[in-house]
């Protein structure tokens, strides 16, 4: 018998979200497919977007090569850049765009001979996040060194926001200003807007956007309606029923104790599948299209839900862990994390593309 847990990946919703992001931004957009497309399957998502996307972005070279070997010919930007000479050689061989954010990467390019204009370089400016990128006062000198390399063709300027999903945080405006000053007078495209930047910061809309989490329908600002559609629906089934009497506890560590007669459904999914173990009693979940809650601690292979007010539900009832009815942001918030983590942690569950 096949275990009933599965993840439905709605590729039409993915395309909808990409087109919405591109329309809102007004420029070109790289669909971010790092971390296996945030758990959705990078190859399948790339193939679904290949006719629409101006390009893709991944974290490291190996992720890009996987797409190339599967026939993806769109531009692919490597966000972390090259870690060593072997990476740089592979990037050249597979016609990848690369981010340069530190001196060792710049030096490697200077010491590499390749055909003229072979490298499309994105020069990353540290505008205030202080994680990766050249200091603003070094940008003009770095640009000059890149221009002196025969193998470097186009140079695009980029930076990354620390707080773009907080519309009232002044840090993003400060980062925009720092970036503009650092790159003033230098020719080349600009890229600032991640998902939050696309949705909340029109001043960050430049030549290229980099939509990530929003592609998958998880709004980085959950309390706002931006018209995104959930791409993943994580499903399972109720496979056992029992009733707790008042005073009886449930599951590991006995974290839930019934205050009244409670009808419990056992669901075939758990933290080994990627459902967050830290999700407490009260985390939203849907059964046969109706909302209810989890109760007790999440186990490795199963979780328990409250069916007391759903008398029609029984063995075989469909369960939505997250998707159109259950916002992944609500599940993540209850679990003390962000939507990125449970999506990226999806495993063992088969993906079915629709």
Annotated catalytic residue within 19, 140, 203, 252 = 252
Q: How confident is the model at residue 1 (pLDDT cuts 50, 70, 90)?
A: low
- Span 158-211, pLDDT tens digits: 999 999 999 889 999 999 999 999 999 999 999 999 999 999 999 999 999 999
Q: What mean pLDDT, rounded, does the chain reach? A: 97
Q: At residue 87, does pLDDT exceed 80? A: yes
Assess contact for 336 and 351: CB atoms under 8 A. no
pLDDT of residue 293: 98
Q: Work out the average pLDDT over 119-135.
A: 97
High-pLDDT (> 70) share of the chain, %: 100
Distance of alpha carbon 38 from alpha carbon 328, whole angstroms: 13
The predicted model scores a pTM of: 0.95
Q: Give me the phi and psi of 123, to 5 degrees please.
A: -85, 115
Q: Give me the phi and psi of 120, to 5 degrees please.
A: -95, 110
Q: Is 131 annotated as a binding residue?
A: yes
Token digits of residue 157 = 């300027």
pLDDT of residue 221: 87
| 353 labelled catalytic | no
Token digits of residue 313 = 């539900």
Provide the angle, in degrees to the nearest 10, between the axes of the packed helices 42-49 and 11-25: 60
CATH class belonging to 11-216: alpha beta
| 252 labelled catalytic | yes
Provide the angle, in degrees to the nearest 10, between the axes of the packed helices 139-147 and 103-110: 20
Annotated catalytic residue within 18, 34, 124, 340 = 34
Residue with tokens 């990409």: 18
More confident residue, 48 or 2: 48
Max Cα-Cα span within the chain: 77
Fold for the domain defined by 232-353: Lyase, Ornithine Decarboxylase; Chain A, domain 1 (2.40.37)
Domain ranges of the chain: 11-216, 232-353
Q: Work out the average pLDDT over 88-113.
A: 96
Q: In whole angstroms, how far apart are CA 309 and each of 262, 292, 306, 314? A: 9, 8, 8, 12
Q: Which residues of 99-136 are buried (b: 16+ CB within 10 A; e: fewer)?
A: bbbeeebbebbeebebeeebbbbbbbbbbbeeebbbeb
């Amino acid at each position: 018998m096949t275990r009933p847990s599965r993840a439905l990946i709605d590729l039409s919703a993915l395309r909808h979200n990409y087109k919405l992001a591109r329309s809102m931004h007004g420029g070109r957009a790289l669909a971010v497919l790092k971390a296996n497309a945030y758990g959705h399957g990078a190859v399948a998502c790339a193939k679904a977007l290949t006719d629409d996307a101006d390009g893709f972005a991944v974290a490291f070279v190996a992720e890009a090569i996987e797409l190339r070997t599967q026939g993806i010919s769109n531009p692919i930007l490597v966000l972390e850049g090259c870690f060593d000479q072997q990476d740089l050689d592979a990037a050249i061989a597979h016609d990848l765009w690369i981010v340069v954010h530190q001196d060792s990467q710049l030096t490697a390019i200077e010491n590499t001979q390749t055909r003229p204009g072979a490298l499309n370089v994105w020069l990353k400016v540290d505008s205030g996040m202080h994680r990766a990128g050249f200091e603003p006062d070094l940008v003009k000198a770095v640009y000059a060194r890149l221009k002196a390399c025969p193998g470097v063709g186009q140079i695009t300027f980029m930076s990354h926001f620390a707080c773009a999903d907080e519309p009232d945080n002044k840090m993003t405006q400060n980062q925009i200003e720092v970036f503009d000053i650092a790159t003033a007078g230098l020719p080349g495209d600009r890229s600032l807007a991640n998902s939050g930047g696309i949705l909340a910061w029109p001043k960050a809309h430049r030549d290229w956007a980099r939509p990530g989490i929003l592609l998958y329908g998880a709004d980085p600002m959950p309390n706002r309606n931006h018209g995104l559609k959930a791409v993943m629906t994580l499903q399972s089934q109720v496979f056992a029923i029992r009733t707790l009497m008042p005073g009886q506890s449930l599951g590991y560590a006995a974290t839930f104790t019934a205050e009244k007669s409670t009808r419990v459904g056992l669901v075939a999914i758990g933290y080994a599948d990627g459902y967050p173990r830290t999700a407490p009693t009260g985390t939203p979940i849907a059964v046969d299209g109706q909302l209810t809650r989890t109760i007790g601690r999440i186990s490795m292979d199963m979780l328990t839900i409250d069916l007391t007010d759903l008398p029609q539900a029984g063995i075989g009832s469909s369960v939505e862990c997250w998707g159109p009815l259950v916002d992944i942001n609500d599940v993540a918030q209850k679990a003390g994390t962000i939507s990125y983590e449970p999506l990226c942690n999806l495993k063992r569950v088969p993906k079915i593309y629709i």
